[in-house]
């Protein structure tokens, strides 16, 4: 049995401003306008794979569940890490979960934010790797390099096992340009993809041998796992004591059972805007545009227009990303430094580092359309059957106008139905709730008026993960 393990963490800061802390790149339709990177990951799995184990965090749990639902994919489980502890503990948790039923499957460890152009080559490589894993090998996928890339770690392949697989000689950290060029010329080095295959028991045995501290904490944390709706929660107190370590450092660099597969299927980690530009089909001038874009005398640019017209004139090698609340204009050769912008936004506590203007919640979403000294306007969407927690405010009143659907509004315990083109008023200090009892999304405009609109003026009387 082959069990995929999908790592759904990460913040994707180099893809800002489209990727944000609360809505990172794995949930975005970056390569395919209709499919997110996470959805593409599950869609390329073969029908022979068992349902996947997904590893994510508290913040992203509903995004993972919703994206699986939209892809018509049923995961085995979605495990929530209380704190990020890198890949070795995450894979250990998945391995312990996989053997709970007394089975010992082969695990296929995948990132949720990679692009692979050739699905058939990927599946053939997985089938080959599964055979090696069944023999007790720890398999890593080595990407056949196409350029002297300095942003990736490398794997040096050793003695050939067959035409596709080699003994894993050693891992190499990200090199400088000259070293990367020599690696490419030698033909002996592969990019480290971060994808792995091994039997659950084999990985756990090697982890126990080389990092017994990580093994012990993860084993104890799994013994105290608790189900919560569609999720499985790890014990926070136990898991927080686990050392943070990558699977490379913890196991793969130390084991004698390592094997690397040469993988040549159009792989990309979608790690920067320039990498995404490389993937896309471009016009005769080398430009890629999505949205309402007009370019004149421009070359080799990537332009994304979210809602308004974006034009370029007499420019080249630019990345232009226009979102509702932030605009990025960067030289294509400097995009690796976008992290510095995000770090500044985080240090100055700018909300643009964390959320988009449109914020997703388990019950739906809200978009902050406009604001002023004494008002704030939001567009609110509530999914069918969902509700917003009952709450109250000391400093603002709210006017709700239903655009489509039907709202069940509760004020101080009394309920009413508000339909399309109708409105209701929530005075300051009134305990109120909102529910969508219908079969279609509830679309509503909320106008807040008052002196203060901070989140700490929301007094909640029940928790619906708002």
Output the CA–CA distances (angstroms, integers) from residue 188 to 121, 141, 175, 183, 241, in the order listed: 21, 14, 15, 7, 39
pLDDT of 463? 56
Sequence-separated (6 or more) residues with CB below 8 Å from residue 286:
299, 300, 301
| CB distance 61 to 80 below 8 Å | yes
Question: What is 23-43 written as a DSSP string?
Answer: B-GGGS-SSBTTB-HHHHHHH
User: How many Å apart are CA 374 and CA 97, to the nearest integer?
Assistant: 52
- 424 has pLDDT over 90: yes
Strands 327-331 and 154-160: unpaired
Q: pLDDT, tens digit, for every residue of 87-126?
A: 999 999 999 999 998 899 999 999 999 999 999 999 999 9
pTM of the model: 0.89
List the end-to-end C-alpha distance of the chain, in Å, as a whole number: 39
State the average pLDDT over residues 239-267: 95
Q: State residue 301's pLDDT score.
A: 98
Q: What is the mean pLDDT of residues 65-83?
A: 94
In this predicted structure, the answer to whether residue 462 has a pLDDT above a threshold of 80 is: no
Cα separation, 373 vs 393, whole angstroms:
17
- Report the candidate in 212, 274, 242, 209 with the shortest Cα–Cα distance to residue 89: 242
98-107, 242-251, 456-465: least confident range: 456-465
- Residue 465, pLDDT > 60, answer no
Over residues 158-208, the pLDDT tens digits come to 999 998 999 999 999 899 999 999 999 999 999 999 999 999 999 999 999
DSSP assigned state of 250: I
Tell me the torsion sign for CA atoms 25, 31, 33, 35: negative
The confidence band for 461, taking pLDDT boundaries of 50, 70 and 90, is confident
Q: Average pLDDT of the chain?
A: 94
Per-residue pLDDT, averaged over 18-31, amounts to: 94
What does the pLDDT read at residue 9? Answer: 84
- Domains, the chain, in order of start with CATH, read 2-268 (3.90.550.10), 273-343 (no CATH), 358-460 (2.60.120.10)
pLDDT at 464: 53
């Amino acid at each position: 049995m082959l069990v995929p393990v999908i790592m759904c963490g990460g913040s994707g800061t180099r893809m800002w401003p489209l990727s944000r802390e609360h809505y990172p790149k794995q949930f975005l339709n970056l390569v395919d306008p209709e499919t997110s990177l996470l959805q593409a990951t599950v869609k390329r799995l073969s029908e022979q794979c068992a349902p996947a184990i997904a590893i994510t965090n508290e913040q992203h749990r509903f995004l993972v569940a919703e994206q699986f639902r939209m892809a018509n994919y049923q995961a085995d489980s979605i495990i929530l890490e209380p704190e990020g502890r890198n890949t070795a503990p995450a894979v250990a948790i998945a391995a312990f979960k996989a053997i709970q039923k007394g089975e010992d499957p082969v695990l296929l460890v995948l990132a949720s934010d990679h692009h692979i152009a050739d699905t058939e080559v990927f599946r053939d490589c997985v089938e080959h790797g599964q055979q090696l894993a069944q023999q007790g090998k720890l398999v890593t996928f080595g990407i056949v390099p196409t350029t002297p890339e300095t942003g990736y770690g490398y794997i040096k392949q050793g003695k050939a096992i067959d035409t596709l697989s080699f003994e894993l000689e050693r891992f190499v950290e990200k090199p400088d340009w000259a070293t990367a060029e020599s690696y490419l010329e030698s033909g002996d080095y592969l990019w480290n993809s971060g994808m792995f295959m091994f039997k659950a028991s084999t990985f756990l045995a090697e982890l126990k041998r080389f990092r017994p501290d990580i093994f012990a904490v993860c084993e104890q944390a799994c013994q105290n796992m608790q189900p919560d709706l569609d999720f499985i929660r790890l014990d926070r107190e136990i898991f927080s004591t686990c050392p943070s370590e990558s699977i490379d450092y913890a196991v793969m660099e130390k084991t004698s059972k390592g094997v690397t597969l040469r993988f040549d299927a159009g792989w990309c980690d979608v790690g920067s805007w320039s990498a995404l530009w490389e993937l896309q089909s471009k016009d005769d001038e080398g430009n890629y545009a999505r949205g309402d874009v007009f370019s004149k005398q421009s070359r080799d640019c990537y332009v994304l227009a979210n809602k308004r017209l974006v034009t370029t004139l007499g420019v080249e090698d630019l990345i232009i990303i226009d979102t509702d609340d932030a605009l990025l204009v960067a030289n294509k050769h400097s995009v690796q430094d976008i992290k510095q912008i995000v770090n500044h936004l985080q240090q100055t506590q700018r909300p643009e580092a964390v959320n988009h203007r449109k914020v997703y919640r388990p019950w739906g979403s809200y978009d902050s359309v406009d604001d002023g000294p004494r008002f704030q306007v939001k567009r609110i969407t509530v999914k069918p059957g969902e509700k917003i927690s009952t709450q109250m405010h000391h400093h603002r009143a709210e006017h709700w106008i239903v655009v489509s659907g039907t709202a069940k509004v509760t004020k101080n315990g009394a309920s009413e139905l508000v339909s399309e083109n109708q409105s209701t008023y929530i005075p300051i200090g009134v305990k109120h709730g909102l529910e969508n009892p219908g079969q279609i999304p509830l679309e509503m405009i909320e106008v807040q008026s008052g002196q203060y609109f901070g989140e700490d003026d929301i007094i909640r009387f029940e928790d619906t993960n708002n």
